[in-house]
């Protein structure tokens, strides 16, 4: 029987998709793993037991489930916070210590998982299409202000546009800037209606309006009786029947008890556009921004008037044609953002502006504030520092899902990726605000975009791949690259994503992706310069691989400086014990839901289910067996101790497929004869279920921690032939473990 030796020098490809089982021709096959569970892949190629999860806080205990979102907030180098958002509440933590509950009115339980956010200095902005944008302002560790974002000059949009040719005169106070418009020659009318419907009101029988002197284009206000308080523009009028038809519909239809008033202007005039008619020698345009009285409004000139002469539509003895009118109005304009029309769903600060994107009714539009005036969206006359607006009118539907302030302002939508084109060192202005499509992948809503090494990483629209978008000098634009091609099985309906920066040479950039289906985390260790993309799986101590009914589920993740926090929900399925917990990955603990302390012989559990088993580690020694709470009694008194749920660690190679001169050995029986495993500072390890010894004989080995070992451990005498012949490295105790590679000798059978 021939034998050969194979050396897997690294695990830098991470866990491979089962669909690649037959792709032994791929270069990545030799450095890949069938399973990389609860390990982190180093850029040098080794695999280390992932940090445990230390219990930080019990968030709630209720018979009904709630949603959570954990958000990072860094105010200064020394002031960093973890914000846990739940229904109507934001919990503030600093240095893992609870500070204060902030009342967050307007954030409902349904909104929480769909929140989008951005931060600038002491202010966090929270947006959702069903909520007026909010801001959270830090005053001190224990004092925070939560309020509506003070938006001004909200853009208007003609949701239901109509042109009117009113039978009265208008005089502008100036030709440009902020002006007043004064109406004259108008006949007002008050009285009690004869009747009404959802779209009409029948004026009093004695009204003086005629076919020549009619109220078309004026405003009718219900002053008393049924429907009181409403006001609408009059679209048309029948002098014979006295019926005035309005634009749109009444909220409450008037009747013969409704008092009314017809006047040139009303509150509904705000947003209306006044145009000097194109048929006259002088032209101009102004947008009404404030109702002052029945005959006076304030307006902003968008196209300067030639002069301040009166625009008079009353000079004709018969009804004029549209071209004869000296002015007309465009109504149907409403605030783009409102409770009725919806609110922006995305936000980002970029080059001195606050950008907001996408509403329910205008899903493919993005708006930018005035420069350095983040809440003022006045577009004025298009000066360089005024507000900007653009709509993505392309072939496909593009609902904006994310705004990302990268090298350019990047706009992610359901149908593709776009950027705001800029010349180097040239700022965005209304005249240069151009958006250009880059790719047509589409991104998943409610999952943040993260930046790594100049690339923007996002989750594909259906949640089936992790994609990188980066500028290419060769292409003169942005290109995309799927990062999860070899590991797409790890993505199971992603619902949250966060990035941890590398802080030393033995770390890679880490991307944490929360899977909504089973509550696990897919961890991607990425080293862009070396093209290293090494995925692994994070599974909690009481979770089961692939089980969507797990009681323990990670629901959100955030990185605060270098600390990674998660919120875990526990639901026993019967709605009798539902809890939420904030935990932190901590390299000083080796269990999940870890509780630590000093100088004690017992500890109190702070975990969702007091009946689950825990492991106890005291002074570096793992106690045999498991214990349960709520009070855990130790075998002895320890100076330092930890207990929590143990979790499985597994590094499993791909099936052995050597490249021999005689060809493939895919179908042959194989047996691994010997394994040599180089390790670093390791205390516990098994190889193919054979426990590897780490204690050395000698004096003082009892009541002492297992010594850390760096070197090569060898396992011989493994029996059994199979067609796969894989090496599975696991642990039997929650102790240190770093595997650097694997050399193994294989015997071939028939």
* Token duo for residue 566: 């998660």
pLDDT greater than 50 at residue 317: no
What average pLDDT does the segment 87-115 reach? 95
Predicted confidence (pLDDT) per residue in 398-414, tens digit? 899 999 998 899 999 99
The span from the CA of 616 to the CA of 596, in Å, is 10
pLDDT greater than 60 at residue 120: yes
Predicted confidence (pLDDT) per residue in 689-711, tens digit? 999 999 776 555 567 889 999 99
Instruction: Name the average pLDDT for the chain.
Output: 88
Name the nearest CA neighbour of 401 among 353, 477, 344, 466: 344
- Half-sphere exposure at residue 570, Cβ-oriented, CA atoms within 13 angstroms: 23
pLDDT tier at 318, thresholds 50, 70, 90: very low
Weakest-pLDDT range from 331-335, 447-451, 478-482, 681-685: 331-335
Q: Is the dihedral of CA 15, 18, 19, 22 positive or negative?
A: positive
Q: Say whether the peptide bond before residue 630 is cis (omega within 30 degrees of 0).
A: yes
Q: What is the length of the chain? A: 750
Query: What is the per-residue burial (b if ≥16 Cβ within 10 Å, else e) of 36-53?
Result: bbbbbbbbebbbbbbbbb
Q: How far from chain centre, in Å, is Cα 293?
A: 44
The span from the CA of 487 to the CA of 525, in Å, is 13
Name the nearest CA neighbour of 8 among 24, 27, 26, 32: 32
pLDDT greater than 70 at residue 63: no
Q: What is the 8-class DSSP label of residue 654?
A: P
What average pLDDT does the segment 645-659 reach? 88
Percentage of residues in the chain having pLDDT higher than 70: 93
Q: Is 30 helix (H, G, I), strand (E, B) or coil?
A: helix
Q: Which long-range contacts (CB under 8 A, 24 or more apart) does 474-478 make?
A: 477/419, 477/436, 477/438, 478/410, 478/417, 478/419, 478/438, 478/439
Render 252-294 in DSSP notation, one character per residue: S---TT-EEEEES--GGGTT-EEEE-TTSSS-EEEEEEEE-SS
pLDDT greater than 60 at residue 85: yes
Weakest-pLDDT range from 156-170, 174-188, 258-272, 433-447: 156-170
**pLDDT for the residue 539:** 95
The span from the CA of 711 to the CA of 697, in Å, is 18
**pLDDT for the residue 690:** 92
Name the nearest CA neighbour of 498 among 508, 517, 511, 484: 511
Name the nearest CA neighbour of 527 among 509, 540, 552: 509
Backbone angles phi, psi at 21, to 5 degrees: -55, -35
Find tokens 């304009």 and name the residue: 333
Predicted confidence (pLDDT) per residue in 322-369, tens digit? 556 788 888 888 889 999 899 999 999 999 999 999 999 999 999 999
Q: What is the 8-class DSSP label of residue 723?
A: S
pLDDT tier at 575, thresholds 50, 70, 90: low
Q: Are 593 and 613 in contact (CB under 8 A)?
A: no
What average pLDDT does the segment 185-214 reach? 91
- Pick the most confident of 3-7, 9-13, 152-156, 194-198: 194-198
The span from the CA of 250 to the CA of 268, in Å, is 13
Please tell me the pTM assigned to this model.
0.88
What average pLDDT does the segment 75-91 reach? 93
Contacts of 610 (CB under 8 A, 6+ apart): 628, 629, 630
Q: Are 321 and 328 in contact (CB under 8 A)?
A: no
Weakest-pLDDT range from 127-131, 254-258, 472-476, 588-592: 472-476
Q: What angle do CA 414, 420, 425 make, to 5 degrees?
A: 155
Q: Are 621 and 635 in contact (CB under 8 A)?
A: no
Q: Is 112 helix (H, G, I), strand (E, B) or coil?
A: helix
The span from the CA of 258 to the CA of 361, in Å, is 33
Other CB atoms within 10 Å distance of the CB of residue 593: 27
- Half-sphere exposure at residue 59, Cβ-oriented, CA atoms within 13 angstroms: 30
């Amino acid at each position: 029987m021939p034998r050969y030796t194979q050396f897997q020098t690294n695990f830098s490809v991470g866990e491979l998709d089962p669909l690649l089982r037959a792709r032994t021709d791929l270069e990545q096959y030799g450095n890949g793993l069938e399973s990389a569970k609860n390990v982190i892949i180093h850029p040098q190629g080794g695999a280390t037991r992932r940090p445990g999860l230390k219990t930080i806080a019990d968030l709630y205990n209720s018979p009904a489930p709630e949603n959570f979102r954990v958000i990072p907030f860094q105010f200064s180098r020394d002031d960093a916070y973890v914000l846990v958002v739940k229904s109507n509440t934001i919990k503030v933590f600093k240095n893992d210590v609870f500070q204060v509950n902030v009342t967050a009115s307007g954030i409902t339980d349904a909104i929480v998982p769909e929140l989008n956010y951005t931060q600038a200095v002491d202010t966090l902005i929270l947006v959702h299409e069903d909520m007026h944008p909010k801001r959270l302002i830090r005053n001190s560790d224990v004092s925070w202000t939560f309020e509506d974002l003070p938006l001004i000059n909200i853009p208007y949009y003609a949701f239901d546009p109509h042109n009117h040719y009113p039978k009265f005169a208008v005089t502008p106070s100036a030709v440009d800037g902020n002006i007043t418009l004064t109406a004259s020659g108008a006949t007002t009318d008050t009285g009690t209606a004869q009747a009404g419907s959802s779209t009409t009101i029948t004026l009093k029988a004695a009204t003086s309006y005629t076919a020549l002197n009619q109220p078309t284009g004026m405003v009718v206000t219900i002053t008393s009786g049924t429907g009181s308080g409403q006001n609408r523009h009059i679209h048309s009028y029948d002098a014979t029947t006295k019926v005035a038809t309005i634009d749109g519909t009444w909220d409450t239809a008037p009747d013969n008890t409704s008092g009314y008033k017809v006047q040139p202007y009303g509150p509904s005039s705000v947003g209306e556009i006044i145009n000097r008619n194109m048929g006259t020698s002088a032209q101009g345009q102004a947008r009404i921004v404030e109702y002052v009285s029945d005959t006076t409004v304030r307006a902003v000139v968008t196209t300067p008037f030639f002069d301040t002469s009166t625009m008079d539509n009353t000079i004709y003895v018969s009804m004029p044609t549209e071209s004869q009118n000296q002015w007309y109005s465009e109504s149907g304009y409403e605030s783009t953002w409102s409770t009725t029309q919806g609110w922006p769903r995305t936000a980002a600060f970029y080059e001195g502006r606050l950008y907001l994107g996408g509403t329910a009714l205008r899903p493919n539009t993005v708006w930018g504030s005035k420069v350095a005036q983040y809440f003022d969206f006045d577009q004025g006359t298009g000066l360089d520092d005024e507000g900007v607006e653009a709509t993505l009118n392309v072939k496909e539907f593009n609902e904006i899902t994310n705004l990302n302030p990268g090298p350019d302002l990047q706009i992610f939508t359901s149908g593709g990726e776009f950027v705001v084109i800029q010349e180097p060192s040239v700022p965005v202005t209304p005249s240069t605000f151009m958006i250009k499509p880059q790719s047509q992948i589409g991104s998943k809503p409610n999952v943040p975009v993260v930046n790594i090494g100049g690339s923007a990483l996002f989750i594909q629209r259906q949640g089936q791949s992790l994609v990188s978008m980066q500028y290419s000098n060769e292409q003169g634009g942005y290109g995309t690259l799927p990062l999860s091609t070899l590991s797409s099985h790890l993505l199971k309906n992603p619902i949250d994503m966060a990035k941890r920066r590398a802080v030393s040479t033995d770390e890679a950039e880490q991307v944490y992706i929360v899977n909504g289906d089973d509550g696990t985390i897919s961890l991607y260790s990425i080293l862009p310069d070396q093209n290293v993309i090494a995925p692994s799986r994070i599974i909690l101590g009481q979770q089961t691989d692939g089980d969507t009914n797990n009681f323990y589920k990670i629901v959100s993740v955030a990185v605060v400086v270098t600390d990674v926090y998660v919120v875990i929900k526990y639901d026993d399925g019967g709605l009798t014990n539902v809890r939420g917990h904030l935990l932190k990955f901590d390299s000083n603990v080796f269990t999940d839901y870890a509780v630590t302390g000093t100088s004690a012989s017992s500890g109190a559990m702070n975990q969702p289910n007091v009946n689950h088993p825990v492991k106890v580690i005291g002074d570096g020694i793992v106690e045999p067996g498991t214990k349960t709470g709520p009070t855990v009694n130790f075998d002895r008194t320890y100076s330092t101790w930890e207990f929590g749920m143990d979790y499985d660690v597994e590094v499993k190679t791909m099936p052995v497929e050597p490249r021999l001169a005689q060809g493939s050995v895919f179908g042959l029986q194989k047996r691994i004869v010997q394994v040599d495993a180089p390790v670093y500072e390791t205390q516990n390890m098994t190889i193919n279920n054979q426990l590897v010894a780490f204690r050395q004989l000698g004096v003082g080995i009892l009541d002492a921690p297992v010594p850390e070992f760096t070197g090569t451990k060898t396992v011989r005498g493994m029996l059994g032939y199979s067609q796969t012949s894989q090496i599975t490295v696991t642990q039997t105790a929650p102790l240190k473990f770093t595997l650097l590679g694997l050399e193994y000798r294989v015997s071939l059978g028939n």
